[in-house]
Structure 1
Amino acid sequence: MRGLDRLTWELGLASVRQRWSSFVGAFVALAVGTLITAASIHVLAATTSTPSPGPQRFAAAQSVVVPVDGLGTPLPAPAGLPRATVDRAQRVGPAVVDRSFAVQSPTGVGIEAVGHGWSSSPLASYKLLSGHRPVNDHQIVVAADDTDSTPLGEKIRVVTPLGTAWYTVVGAAGRKSFEDAVFFTDAEAARLSPAVNAVAVQAPASAVRARVSSESAAVLAGDLRRLADPAAVGGIGRARSVVQMTTGLSVLVVVFVLIATFAFVVEQRARELALLSLVGASPARIRRMVRAETVVVGAAAALLGCLLGIPASLLLRSWMVANRLAPEWFHVGFHPGALVIAFLVGIAAAVLGSAAASWRASRAQPLDALRETMASPRVMSPVRWILGGLILAVAATIALVFAVISPSSAANPGTYFEVPILCAAGLAIFSPVLVRPVARVVTWPLMRFGALALVLRQSTLNSGRRVAAIVTPVVLAVGMFGGMIGMQNAGRDAAARQRTAAVQADFVATPNFGSTFNLPAVSALRHTGGIRSVEVTDEVVTLATKGGIVLDTVDARGVDLSALGDVVTPHVRQGSLDALPANAIVVGHDLAASADLRIGQPLVAWAGNGDRVTVDVAAVVDSVLGGGAAYVPNDLPGSMTPGTAFLRTLPGKSATPQLKELRDAGVRIEPVSTYVAQASQAEKQDSHLANVVILGIVVAYALLALVNTLVTSVSARRREIGVLSLTGATHRQIVCIVVSEAVLAVAVGTLVSVLSAGAVLGLQHLTLSRIIDHPPLALPWTSLCQIVTLCTATAALAATVAAWRTLARFETTPISE
């Protein structure tokens, strides 16, 4: 390295050998930090480099024709192909139509299963284990792991899209990992689900494309056939998004902690560096020596962390697969680039932290440096002021951009997570300047509790550097954890409040199984007297201009337009929901702003089958938190089957018999408040596992840094502890003071963390106020108390062990300095 001559290296190596114990904490922090970075980057690289298992559902097909949206993205079932497209595809060569529909058997066979026609079974290489194929419309073949678990010859009750029917099990086919299949005759499958979801053609893709319109369907061949597989197969998108957030957050925390750790290690040596300056060492020589020490320690620690990062990445992969955050075929290989990046990140953070502290220490006058070790006012360096201010400015800018351009993003943790991360990081950098005023507030009550309490208070106030070093990991742990959890809770509560306010109904109906109602349930909803039912369909709708320019493919909600403003009541920003024409479309504010839509503007819209209709923008409403960018007519060509219905009891009618009739038809009915609460709880459970990865690693590393800092700081106070012992303080009193100081430092960090989380929730509150009235604003006190308790217990335990260890060393080796 430039500027490090042979003498400097010799001094650095000698210093490390002689005072290796003072580098243990920094070594462990860097090794573990590099381990986390290497494992995270390793898994992230694997999400982009792991080869997919190839086509599964259509592995034996040469070409597959599937429906697509306006951007050419294949649509999953129940999206269907136009009849003309199916006919043209079948004329190219030998073809098999595939129908995929939800079925359910109460006996346990095929629970939440997928129904197919038998002719499509060879496409996925299904083989009969026993029995025979279905030969009449009352027979089925079920997928099973072995023949012993198959009730051959028995009649079982199966719930289908047309209702409940009895079928005889005549065969068992080997189960596949991507679905639980139930096979009917082709005629029965066509009766149960008329829509054709895909056509497998034994012909070259070029020949099929020449006959099939690319506007309504895509022809997949080769490895692209996997795009027609069920969503669970090849679903690595969620794993990638989770690991991306984990990697970014982990690297940020690791860098901050390592900079603070190595800076603190150098600052603890201020007296030693001052003595070197007194005996003639130049500032440049001191800086080079410290840099050499950092490189020696950092290289060894980073190398160890990289080596341990490889098995750690395998453990992370196993955990993600076991908890369904990644598919079973997800594989983590060896990626040297990830190790190089982790190594360089660790070394760079260590050198940066030690360089900043050594530059400040080397420029101080020797006598001033010796004096400063006794009572150290913390002074922020210009670099720290600039960096902290820049990070907080970026956080505020991101929040402002969301507030102006896309307020609904504030309810989405996947897009708003940068704000709590940057707020906590910025306040962690500013911790030295925040320590004294916050510490005065926290320690003010101690003025009433005697001499020891006053000693404790003054020690906390005078030891700005030491307290700031303890506060930094606390702010990173508690601030990020509280900000992220609070932001997620507020977003969910705001979405739930909006859903409740936008529905003027008594009950919500949903299917007993599957994602959509079967035909008997739809018929019962539409013909049950005494109740008004408004069915809602989740659509994927492509919007384009009259000139054919595709604007976007959005998640929309198909409803009876006459119900808008009556049963479904979103807040209107522009236009009106009164007397909507049959070709109207109501768009959310975010979509209107991004596509520059205006009232009365004609658009071309199409859903699953590719048929296009002209719609006019009738109104702009608040963006729907949690999904749904537009409301479209429920009879839009290619619309799906409804999956939700809002029920309102008509005046003067009793809903009890009608609700029983609906339940008998396979409909689950709940009050609106219960439905919204359960949806929010499901979202919370879904995000819990991601939080374990994203926040668990960060909190664990921050706690390690807290322990490391406390052990290092207590060990460096050997003279002070010795003086207290010589003046008559008992070991118990000394340990009590040291532990109390650590707990007070955690309290200071907690208060700074509350400021960070409060700022995040305040910014989010202002943003969500643009969408809903009085959005929730509350700190996650339960989560904060849990993480603060963990930090406090960790700090107290580490301080106790370090204090007793220092007292034991003092007894065996009296202070001679």
Structure 2
Amino acid sequence: MLRMSRAGLADRWTLFVGALLSVTLGVALVQSSLLLLISAATSSLEDGDAAVAMLGIMLGGATFLAGFIISSTFAFTVDQRRRDLALLRLVGGSRSQVRRLLLGEALLLGLGGAALGVPAGLVVMDVQEWLMHRFEFVPEGFTGQWRMWILGVSVGTGLLLAIAGVLVAAHRAARVRPLEALRETGPAARVMTAGRWIAGLLFFGGALALMIVAPHGGPAGGQAMAMNVAMPAAVAVVAFAPLLVPLLARLMPFGGGVLGSLARANVRDARRRSASVAAPLIVLVALVVGNTGAGTTFTTSGIAEVARSTRADLVVQGRVPAGFTDGTVSTELSLPGEITTGQGEDQETEAISVLVVDPAAYSAVHTTPVAVRGKAVVAGPGGDVPTSGTVHVRLPQGDLGELPVVGAVPATMSGGANLLLPPGLVPEAQLASASAVSYVALKPGADPAAVRTALARFGPVTSVGDWLKSDAAARNDINQKVLLMVLGLGALYALIGVVNAIVIGAATRRREFAEARVTGLTRGQVVRAALLEAYAVTGAGLLLGALAAASALIAAVATTSAVTGTATLDLPWTLIGVTALVALTVTGLTSLITSWSATRRAPVTLLAARE
């Protein structure tokens, strides 16, 4: 059967180019992310945790996208050959032989994808290294280290992704009766299989569960769950795509005339092809728009929440003396720290941010009062520390020992310091190196311009609103960079999946195009009809991707309402527009090129061919 598999690949290579490319890029992404992750984890980077966390997210995202795109591509490839497989059954081939034939093809494609993916992975690793240096995740001089054992991992990844991607499709192809496949009746014509229904309902349930639980997870937990809703929601929508894509695509404006009617009929009849083209678009929009929209929503909500809880008028990036008479001043000193909680096997140590504040001044410029004095601490708005009991606190230049936690400032959406300390607890020598921010609440009747001029000698002066925006931007800088790296490469891979689906579909439509031309349509009309069809399917994919993205946005809005008391939604309209424009451009150009190529030969030649 392996010989037949090899002959099948050679005979219908145009069908398998997309599958080979998907495996190649999947292996390259996984290999590159894994090598960089291990290099960062084993190096002595000062801030290696951020790089390791980012690469871990990227490795997980690459594995998910590779598995999803490859399985979709292989399923579509097998579906386009159902008549060939039916003929094989009619001449005596058994179900097990059909399975072995398809698995043999997957084995060869997996090996070929791994062979190409290993050198491609080195190129991808160079790109990822450049991005990591560009976004300052790693210092100059950091490079990913090659390891010989990665060859085995890459080959195994290629084989695993290819074989896993074809297993379900091979099982279904072997179960369909050959006459039903030739006539496209019965199970062969059914696009919504039991497996699709089960997978769709399971992932829909997972997305729904995250949406329900997110508002109860607090600031950190709620944000984490909301940012993960889009992935299962996208898989659920893709599972139901054969039903939803043709329905939505037929509602798109095709225009009148013969070409519009032909494109509408193709969308209606070729449900599997339409769903396969739309699937990567659904994932692309869901992840890019859903995750980015949820991130901007949380940022906007955090800024508004802090603004509502701050009574200050101005912010000075520096220390304002206590004797300043034109307003109430709360100078807050930030230091890195470390706390240890628990005893024995339950003991845990983690890095935190410490804020040294004057309780009376802090309470005067913030709506949340703080009552802490002596040798005691208060849990800060950043959370992640116990709100009662005792903690062992260490600062860069000294150990403060065991301290009781006597209160807590409610955790905020934008985070902040994990622990608040009174000034007398930390020696002045340690505070000399602390980063200082002073909040100033003007006295009634004070001249804001004069006060700003007086404060300027202590440091840059900004309004509270401008300060909150810049502070939020600085806090979210790492998260935004991680999103850009992960979603950027993921979006590129998803777009390649779209191109693959269109190329595979066009490779099997030569005879269909020829039939349209012998009925009176010109070559240009056939190409325009294919373009209309591509745009309709793209529009449906964008809408369904937006539906999946909406699940993350709903979870984000519900979380902001539960945490801050005010529901917030902030959509990245520019990114949404760019995503839609890129998707339409890519599908349009690919459709033009592939349909023009597929109609290159004379229609009579294609119709007279036996293949």
TM-score after normalising by structure 2: 0.89
Residue 271 of structure 2 corresponds to which residue in structure 1? 464
Residue 636 of structure 1 corresponds to which residue in structure 2? 425
Counterpart of 1:491 in structure 2: which amino acid? F
Of 421, 433, 450, the residue aligned with 2:231 is: 421
Is 1:508 the counterpart of 2:320? The answer is no
Is 1:454 the counterpart of 2:261? The answer is yes
Counterpart of 1:750 in structure 2: which amino acid? L
Contact 1:45 1:338 in 2 (8 A): no
Residue 763 of structure 1 corresponds to which residue in structure 2? 555
Superposed CA deviations along residues 253-297 of structure 1, whole A, max 9, x for unmatched, are 011000110111110001111122222222221121121122122
Contact 2:338 2:395 in 1 (8 A): yes
Q: In structure 2, how many angstroms separate the alpha carbons of the residues matched to 1:757 and 1:634?
A: 46
Contact 1:376 1:465 in 2 (8 A): no
Identity %: 25
Pairs within 5 Å for 1:177-188: none
Of 341, 344, 355, the residue aligned with 1:557 is: 355
Q: In structure 1, how many angstroms separate the alpha carbons of the residues matched to 2:588 and 2:342?
A: 68
Pairs within 5 Å for 1:595-614: 595=386, 597=387, 607-608=395-396, 609-612=398-401, 614=403
Once the two structures are TM-superposed, the CA of residue 411 in structure 1 deviates from its matched residue by: 4.2
Counterpart of 2:457 in structure 1: which amino acid? D
Pairs within 5 Å for 1:313-392: 313-372=125-184, 379-392=191-204
Q: In structure 2, how many angstroms separate the alpha carbons of the residues matched to 1:335 and 1:602?
A: 46
Name stretches of at least 5 consecutive residues in structure 1 with no aligned partner.
1-7, 53-232, 511-516, 571-576
Counterpart of 1:434 in structure 2: which amino acid? L
Residue 414 of structure 2 corresponds to which residue in structure 1? 625
**Could you say if the C-alpha distance between residues 329 and 713 of structure 1 is closer, same or farther in structure 2, counting changes exceeding 3 Å?**
same
Q: In structure 2, how many angstroms separate the alpha carbons of the residues matched to 1:235 and 1:616?
A: 29
TM-score after normalising by structure 1: 0.68
Once the two structures are TM-superposed, the CA of residue 612 in structure 1 deviates from its matched residue by: 4.2
Residue 566 of structure 1 corresponds to which residue in structure 2? 364
Name stretches of at least 5 consecutive residues in structure 2 with no aligned partner.
none
Superposed CA deviations along residues 290-348 of structure 1, whole A, max 9, x for unmatched, are 21122122211221112321343234324423442212232322223333333323322
SS of 1:769's partner is helix
SS of 1:42's partner is helix
Of 65, 70, 74, the residue aligned with 1:258 is: 70
Higher alpha-carbon Rg: 1
Superposed CA deviations along residues 434-461 of structure 1, whole A, max 9, x for unmatched, are 3244335x33x54x73443233223212
Contact 1:258 1:346 in 2 (8 A): no
C-alpha RMSD of matched pairs (Å) = 3.1
Q: In structure 1, how many angstroms separate the alpha carbons of the residues matched to 2:449 and 2:411?
A: 35
Once the two structures are TM-superposed, the CA of residue 472 in structure 1 deviates from its matched residue by: 1.0
Is 1:19 the counterpart of 2:12? The answer is yes
Contact 1:525 1:662 in 2 (8 A): no
Residue 216 of structure 2 corresponds to which residue in structure 1? 404
SS of 2:277's partner is helix
Is 1:538 the counterpart of 2:354? The answer is no
Contact 2:531 2:588 in 1 (8 A): yes
Is 1:477 the counterpart of 2:289? The answer is no
Is 1:439 the counterpart of 2:249? The answer is yes
Contact 1:378 1:465 in 2 (8 A): no
Once the two structures are TM-superposed, the CA of residue 613 in structure 1 deviates from its matched residue by: 7.1
Counterpart of 1:427 in structure 2: which amino acid? V
Superposed CA deviations along residues 143-181 of structure 1, whole A, max 9, x for unmatched, are xxxxxxxxxxxxxxxxxxxxxxxxxxxxxxxxxxxxxxx
SS of 1:814's partner is helix
Q: In structure 2, how many angstroms separate the alpha carbons of the residues matched to 1:613 and 1:332?
A: 42
**Could you say if the C-alpha distance between residues 540 and 345 of structure 1 is closer, same or farther in structure 2, counting changes exceeding 3 Å?**
same
SS of 1:617's partner is strand
Residue 293 of structure 2 corresponds to which residue in structure 1? 486
Once the two structures are TM-superposed, the CA of residue 706 in structure 1 deviates from its matched residue by: 0.9
Aligned residues: 602
SS of 2:355's partner is strand
Residue 45 of structure 1 corresponds to which residue in structure 2? 38
**Could you say if the C-alpha distance between residues 359 and 803 of structure 1 is closer, same or farther in structure 2, counting changes exceeding 3 Å?**
same
Counterpart of 2:322 in structure 1: which amino acid? R
Contact 2:14 2:504 in 1 (8 A): no
Once the two structures are TM-superposed, the CA of residue 616 in structure 1 deviates from its matched residue by: 5.1
Counterpart of 1:507 in structure 2: which amino acid? L
Is 1:651 the counterpart of 2:419? The answer is no
Q: In structure 2, how many angstroms separate the alpha carbons of the residues matched to 1:613 and 1:374?
A: 73
Q: In structure 1, how many angstroms separate the alpha carbons of the residues matched to 2:64 and 2:399?
A: 46
Residue 271 of structure 1 corresponds to which residue in structure 2? 83
Between 1 and 2, higher relative CO (CA 8 Å, sep ≥ 6) is seen in: 2
Counterpart of 1:421 in structure 2: which amino acid? M
Q: In structure 2, how many angstroms separate the alpha carbons of the residues matched to 1:49 and 1:602?
A: 34
Once the two structures are TM-superposed, the CA of residue 484 in structure 1 deviates from its matched residue by: 1.7
SS of 2:461's partner is strand
Contact 1:588 1:624 in 2 (8 A): no
**Could you say if the C-alpha distance between residues 807 and 624 of structure 1 is closer, same or farther in structure 2, counting changes exceeding 3 Å?**
closer
SS of 1:536's partner is strand
Is 1:754 the counterpart of 2:555? The answer is no
Once the two structures are TM-superposed, the CA of residue 743 in structure 1 deviates from its matched residue by: 1.2
Residue 732 of structure 1 corresponds to which residue in structure 2? 524
Of 497, 509, 522, the residue aligned with 1:705 is: 497
Residue 287 of structure 1 corresponds to which residue in structure 2? 99
Counterpart of 1:270 in structure 2: which amino acid? R
Once the two structures are TM-superposed, the CA of residue 688 in structure 1 deviates from its matched residue by: 4.6
Q: In structure 1, how many angstroms separate the alpha carbons of the residues matched to 2:68 and 2:191?
A: 18
**Could you say if the C-alpha distance between residues 497 and 342 of structure 1 is closer, same or farther in structure 2, counting changes exceeding 3 Å?**
farther
**Could you say if the C-alpha distance between residues 677 and 376 of structure 1 is closer, same or farther in structure 2, counting changes exceeding 3 Å?**
farther
Q: In structure 1, how many angstroms separate the alpha carbons of the residues matched to 2:378 and 2:308?
A: 18
Superposed CA deviations along residues 192-238 of structure 1, whole A, max 9, x for unmatched, are xxxxxxxxxxxxxxxxxxxxxxxxxxxxxxxxxxxxxxxxx633332
Residue 217 of structure 1 corresponds to which residue in structure 2? none
Counterpart of 2:531 in structure 1: which amino acid? V
Once the two structures are TM-superposed, the CA of residue 357 in structure 1 deviates from its matched residue by: 1.7
Contact 1:718 1:810 in 2 (8 A): no
**Could you say if the C-alpha distance between residues 44 and 748 of structure 1 is closer, same or farther in structure 2, counting changes exceeding 3 Å?**
same
Once the two structures are TM-superposed, the CA of residue 627 in structure 1 deviates from its matched residue by: 2.6
Contact 2:380 2:416 in 1 (8 A): no
Once the two structures are TM-superposed, the CA of residue 586 in structure 1 deviates from its matched residue by: 3.9
Counterpart of 1:357 in structure 2: which amino acid? A
SS of 2:321's partner is helix
SS of 2:276's partner is helix
Is 1:678 the counterpart of 2:470? The answer is yes
**Could you say if the C-alpha distance between residues 719 and 405 of structure 1 is closer, same or farther in structure 2, counting changes exceeding 3 Å?**
same
Residue 801 of structure 1 corresponds to which residue in structure 2? 593
Counterpart of 2:230 in structure 1: which amino acid? P
Contact 1:543 1:550 in 2 (8 A): no
Once the two structures are TM-superposed, the CA of residue 772 in structure 1 deviates from its matched residue by: 0.5
Once the two structures are TM-superposed, the CA of residue 747 in structure 1 deviates from its matched residue by: 0.9
Q: In structure 1, how many angstroms separate the alpha carbons of the residues matched to 2:353 and 2:362?
A: 17
Contact 2:413 2:560 in 1 (8 A): no
Q: In structure 2, how many angstroms separate the alpha carbons of the residues matched to 1:616 and 1:375?
A: 66
Contact 1:531 1:655 in 2 (8 A): no
Superposed CA deviations along residues 563-611 of structure 1, whole A, max 9, x for unmatched, are 34431124xxxxxx3876666644358848x73x45xx67676655223
Counterpart of 1:317 in structure 2: which amino acid? E
**Could you say if the C-alpha distance between residues 240 and 612 of structure 1 is closer, same or farther in structure 2, counting changes exceeding 3 Å?**
closer
Counterpart of 2:235 in structure 1: which amino acid? A
Is 1:790 the counterpart of 2:582? The answer is yes
**Could you say if the C-alpha distance between residues 459 and 237 of structure 1 is closer, same or farther in structure 2, counting changes exceeding 3 Å?**
same
